[in-house]
């Protein structure tokens, strides 16, 4: 993991090694500019007198976690990596809770009011808040990285799970039937749908084979809802037996296989819904965007012998991936989306009745809810040093959350 560097006018220079950053800080030639991601600012260097190299931001969008890698194009070195955890499901749950509370209140207080229908319009290209938050998180980190690194291009995995095409691979075109990427798209879909486990025994981290739940010799098809992942031993043991016979001694596994085979892939649908809007917003940054399929990402990673992670997938996005990627010493920065607070001024209990009121201010004594702090508690039950996140209280104490417990400091 390299350290971002700025000149004395806050213009981005090439990231440097951690040891070099420590040396500059010890000699007083640099100061800490930001801790996350760690950035230093040089006191005796200007952009015009420095040599910089072009860097590319590469993005592997995901429904729950998005991988981001910064690659120096000339050397193929991955200078920085991030894994951003989204809060889409949390937003969806909050909206559903708000809807139920509003519906109950309106039924109690305005039960005779005529219901409104189709009286709200949305702008063209608008997305639900749970999907919009995913795009906003990626936009935020692209903007932050551009401020501290000389970025000249951006790459995005424009993955799409086309169910019509996946269900009938034989009609997908000669480039998929005869090209070197043939088979990667279908298997990538199954890997995500079956959580990278054998559908029959649940084993992980082994070579998987595509298995027909109903064997072709018994009338089964190549449709995706008839396909699953299986380890080699289970595939050989099942053969062309009906899945009910093969799993008759494992009723829980049989129920799981039959249920999950018909379950929709919610995460894939979320990625499908946001891919083009993310592409349009990356275009608006002024950087030349490059796109690549999920199959090419996997192909690049496999041919280079790189372990699968969110950030390594990002480093292998698109045709711009160098023949050799330098990954030694890279530890991704783990980012978890926390939101920007909420506008709800009245808190309620589980029945919808008000129990507390939040003040209008979001800052107190220079702190904001969600700030990461190092607290030195001198006296009391919790005396000691703690590092965690705080929630502001408009009194001489704050609520500190650390190590799974919360208390006032």
Residue extents of the structural domains in the chain: 3-49, 55-88+127-161+266-336, 164-262, 359-409
Token output for 259: 């249920």
pLDDT value, residue 179: 43
pLDDT at 20: 95
Task: Please tell me the distance from the alpha carbon of residue 399 to that of residue 108, in angstroms, as a whole number.
Answer: 35
* Rounded Cα–Cα distance for residues 323 and 293 (Å): 18
Q: Are 55-88+127-161+266-336 and 164-262 the same fold in CATH? A: no
Q: Which fold has domain 164-262?
A: DNA Binding (I), subunit A (1.10.30)
Task: For residue 184, give both structure tokens.
Answer: 């990667």
Rounded to 10 degrees, the C-alpha dihedral 160/165/169/171 comes to -130
Helix H or strand E encompassing 315: helix 310-315
Q: Which of 392, 158, 407 is nearest to 275 (CA)?
A: 158
The pLDDT, as a whole number, for residue 161 is 61
CA 212, distance to chain mean position in Å, is 31
Q: Report how far residue 399's alpha carbon sits from residue 392's, in angstroms, rounded to the nearest whole number.
A: 7
**What pLDDT was estimated at residue 363?**
80
pLDDT score at 167? 42
Smallest CA-to-CA distance from 3 within 27, 49, 28, 35 is with: 35
Q: Within 13 Å of residue 379, how many CA atoms lie on the same side as its CB?
A: 0
Tokens of 193: 């749908």
Instruction: Report pLDDT for 184.
Output: 57
> Can you give the pLDDT of all 409 residues of the chain as single tens digits?
899 999 999 999 999 999 999 999 999 999 999 988 999 999 988 888 888 999 999 999 998 999 999 999 999 999 999 999 999 989 998 888 888 888 888 888 888 888 777 777 788 778 999 999 999 999 999 999 999 999 999 999 987 765 444 444 444 454 444 444 455 577 887 887 788 889 898 898 898 998 888 888 887 777 777 888 899 999 999 998 888 889 988 888 888 888 776 655 677 788 888 999 999 999 999 999 999 988 899 999 999 999 999 999 999 999 999 999 999 889 999 999 988 766 777 878 877 788 877 776 778 888 888 888 888 888 888 888 888 888 887 777 788 888 778 888 7
The pLDDT of residue 183 is 53
- Return the pLDDT at 65: 95
What string of DSSP letters covers 208-245? EEEEESS-GGGT----GGGEEEEEHHHHHHHTT--HHH
The long-range contacts involving 308-312, CB below 8 angstroms and separated by at least 24 positions, are 309/67, 309/83, 310/60, 310/62, 310/65, 310/66, 310/67, 310/83, 311/60, 311/67, 311/68, 311/69, 311/78, 311/81, 311/82, 311/83, 312/67, 312/69
CATH superfamily of the domain spanning 55-88+127-161+266-336:
Ribonuclease H-like superfamily/Ribonuclease H (3.30.420.10)
The pLDDT, as a whole number, for residue 262 is 65
Under DSSP, the state recorded for 115 is: P
Give the residues across from 123 on adjacent strands.
Answer: none
């Amino acid at each position: 993991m390299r350290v971002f560097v700025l000149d004395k006018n806050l213009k981005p220079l090439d990231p440097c090694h951690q040891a070099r950053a420590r040396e500059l800080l010890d000699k007083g030639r640099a100061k800490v500019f930001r801790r996350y991601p760690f950035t230093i600012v040089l006191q005796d260097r200007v952009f015009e007198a420095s040599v910089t190299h072009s860097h590319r931001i590469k993005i592997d969008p995901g429904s729950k976690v998005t991988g981001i890698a910064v690659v120096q194009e000339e050397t193929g070195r991955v200078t920085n990596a991030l894994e951003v955890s989204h809060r889409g499901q949390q937003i969806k749950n909050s909206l559903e809770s708000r809807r139920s509370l509003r519906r109950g209140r309106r039924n109690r207080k305005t039960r005779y009011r005529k219901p409104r229908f189709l009286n709200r319009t949305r702008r063209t290209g608008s997305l639900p808040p749970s999907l919009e938050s995913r795009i906003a998180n990626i936009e935020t980190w692209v903007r932050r990285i551009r401020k501290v690194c000389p970025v000249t291009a951006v790459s995005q995995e424009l993955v799409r799970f086309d169910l019509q095409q996946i269900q009938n691979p034989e009609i997908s075109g000669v480039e998929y039937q005869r090209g070197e990427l043939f088979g990667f798209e279908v298997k990538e879909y199954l890997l995500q749908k079956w959580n990278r486990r054998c559908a029959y025994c649940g084993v992980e981290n082994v070579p998987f084979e595509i298995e027909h739940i109903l064997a072709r010799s018994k009338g089964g098809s190549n449709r995706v809802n008839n396909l699953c992942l299986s380890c080699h031993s289970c595939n050989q043991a099942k053969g062309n037996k009906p899945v009910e016979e093969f799993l008759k001694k494992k009723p829980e596994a049989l129920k799981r296989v039959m249920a999950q085979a018909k379950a929709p892939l919610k995460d894939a649908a979320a990625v499908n819904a946001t891919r083009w809007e993310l592409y349009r917003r990356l275009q608006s940054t002024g950087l030349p965007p490059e796109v690549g399929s999920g199959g090419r990402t996997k192909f690049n990673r496999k041919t280079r012998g790189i372990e699968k992670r969110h950030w390594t997938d990002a480093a292998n996005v698109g045709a711009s991936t160098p023949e050799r990627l330098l990954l030694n010493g890279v530890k991704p920065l783990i980012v978890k989306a926390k939101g920007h607070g909420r506008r709800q001024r009245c808190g309620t209990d589980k029945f919808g009745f008000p129990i507390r009121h939040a003040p209008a201010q979001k800052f107190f004594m220079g702190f904001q809810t969600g700030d990461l702090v190092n607290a030195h508690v001198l006296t009391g039950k919790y005396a000691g040093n703690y590092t965690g996140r705080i929630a502001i209280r408009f009194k001489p104490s704050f609520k500190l959350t650390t190590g799974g417990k919360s208390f006032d400091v």
